[in-house]
Amino acid sequence: MCRALYVLCLLFLLVACGSDDSSYTDIEDENRVLDFPQPDFFPSPTYDLEANPPTEKGFELGKKLFYDGRLSSTGVISCGFCHIQEFSFTHHTHIVSHGVNGALGTRNAQPLMNLAYMEDFSWDGSAAHLDAFPIIPITTDVEMNESVGNVIEKLKADEDYQSLFAAAFENENIDADNMFKALSQFLIMMVSADTKYDKVMQGNAVFSEEEASGKAVFEAKCASCHSGILFTDQSYRNNGLPINPEYNDIGRERVTGESDDRYKFKVPTLRNIALTYPYMHDGRFQTLSEVLNHYDSGMDHTENLDPIFINDNEIGIPLSDTEKSQLLAFLQSLTDDNFILDQRFSEF
Ligand code: HEC
Ligand code: HEC
């Protein structure tokens, strides 16, 4: 509360003193803009950092919100409940996510990292802006099953949140707009770019022979979709998974209404892939070996199967046992241990 008053006074001074530069400095001291950790070998962020620059207090607020069960109706399901840092912010071992009272969702929780570079969000791209994304988990009945209005009421009644919102945002409002902005400030700072692969690419490490061969197989057989430094071209494709009758998830068609998009899902990044099992939108594969067996010999010719997988009478990407072990070695080199140990993002 004191801090809120302090900021109010500063604002008053600002207005009163007009162009007095020293008051600006005071406000900056109060809430520093954070340096966005842009790796020089990454593309420019798609997230508008000028519209919502991550600040020290905004990040702190976003982190508190991310780990706060009060964003759910039962008070126990936080964002961090399904997005666990150790597993690159996925819901370790859960095939599909578990929300309030153990309710089952239909999809596997996605990793949270490098979100500042994504064009849209979720397996089918149903959210076009990161700031709009949290409405989905908060209000979905099998996830947090809460209303945004209720969440705001709970936050308004809490003194810690009163001072954090006041410190983080000039208008000091405890409202949905600021809550979503703070969550985004926390999420976009999660940049993961420090894997063995990155070190090799920067000339600071060397691949084993197995890894190097795996990289060559990957570039020949996988990189058309899992492309570039983010390991995704961010397109929607059908990679031939047999339809799971339990969910019959139509994927991208849910968003566009186009039958051409039936069974297409976002090409996922493969960064930290060794940590984010189980795999695919419905978590059907427990191991990367199962994933490789799927590409080699497990595909179904369902509607809109990507043409890349169709050759004469065969479907899939033929992989020998040697190529499979080389690919596995390469995929392991995409793990960023510093990211999952980074205290800035951890709950405690
Ligand atoms: C009950 C488990 C659960 C909870 C709680 C949850 N999520 Fe998720 N999250 C998921 C699942 C499952 C997906 C994939 C959704 C889909 O494709 O429909 C996902 C996807 C996402 C994505 C998209 C990532 C991408 O690459 O497109 C973001 C961002 C995200 N969650 C952030 C959050 C935030 C912020 C919260 C808290 C407000 C939250 N999640 C709470 C399970 C959960
Ligand atoms: C035509 C594009 C395309 C090609 C080529 C391709 N993939 Fe995929 N990959 C996808 C899509 C789309 C998904 C998500 C499918 C889903 O869940 O419905 C995916 C999912 C995955 C996953 C699971 C990721 C996760 O987070 O659950 C792994 C691992 C993977 N691919 C590895 C590979 C490897 C290795 C190759 C080469 C042998 C390859 N992919 C070739 C499009 C492709």
Question: What's the predicted TM-score (pTM) here?
Answer: 0.92
**Which residue pairs, CB below 8 angstroms and at least 24 apart, start in 82-85?**
82/109, 82/137, 82/143, 83/109, 83/111, 83/112, 85/340, 85/342, 85/345, 85/346, 85/347
- Are both 224 and 138 inside the same structural domain? no
Contact between 123 and 247 under an 8 Å Cβ cutoff? The reply is: no
Owner of token pair 């930290």: 272
- Are both 208 and 94 inside the same structural domain? no
Residue 337 and residue 86: Cα distance in Å, rounded?
A: 9
Q: Is the backbone peptide bond immediately before 245 cis, with ω within 30 degrees of 0?
A: no
Cα–ligand 1 centroid distance for 115 (angstroms): 12
- Structural domain contains residue 132: yes
Q: Choose among 227, 241, 222: nearest CA to 317.
A: 222
- Are both 144 and 49 inside the same structural domain? yes
Element (H, E) at 314: strand 314-315
pLDDT in tens, 213-234: 999 999 999 999 999 999 999 9
Predicted confidence (pLDDT) at residue 28 exceeds the cutoff of 70: no
Arithmetic mean of pLDDT, 332-337 = 98
Residue 300 and residue 39: Cα distance in Å, rounded?
A: 39
Closest residue to atom 12 of ligand 1, CA basis: 109
222 lines ligand 2 (CB under 6 A): yes
Report the length, in residues, of the chain. Answer: 348
113 lines ligand 2 (CB under 6 A): no
Q: Return the CATH number at 273.
A: 1.10.760.10
pLDDT in tens, 147-170: 999 999 999 999 999 999 999 999
Q: How far is CA 3 from the centre of its chain?
A: 32
**pLDDT score, position 29:** 54
Cα–ligand 1 centroid distance for 191 (angstroms): 17
Give the ligand 2 atom nearest the CA of 111.
Answer: 26
pLDDT in tens, 44-80: 999 999 999 999 999 999 999 999 999 999 999 999 9
Cα–ligand 2 centroid distance for 238 (angstroms): 9
Cα–ligand 1 centroid distance for 118 (angstroms): 14
**pLDDT score, position 30:** 80
Contact between 181 and 131 under an 8 Å Cβ cutoff? The reply is: yes
Residue 249 and residue 245: Cα distance in Å, rounded?
A: 8
- Structural domain contains residue 7: no
Element (H, E) at 266: strand 265-266
Q: Which domain-ending residue is among 157, 191, 225?
A: 191
Q: 135 exposed, middle or buried (CB, 10 Å; 0-12, 13-18, 19+)? A: middle
**pLDDT score, position 155:** 98
> What is the span of the domain harbouring residue 49?
31-191
137 lines ligand 1 (CB under 6 A): yes
Work out the mean pLDDT of the chain and round it to a whole number.
Answer: 92
- Are both 211 and 179 inside the same structural domain? no
End-to-end CA distance of the chain: 24
- Are both 296 and 330 inside the same structural domain? yes
Domains held by the chain: number: 2
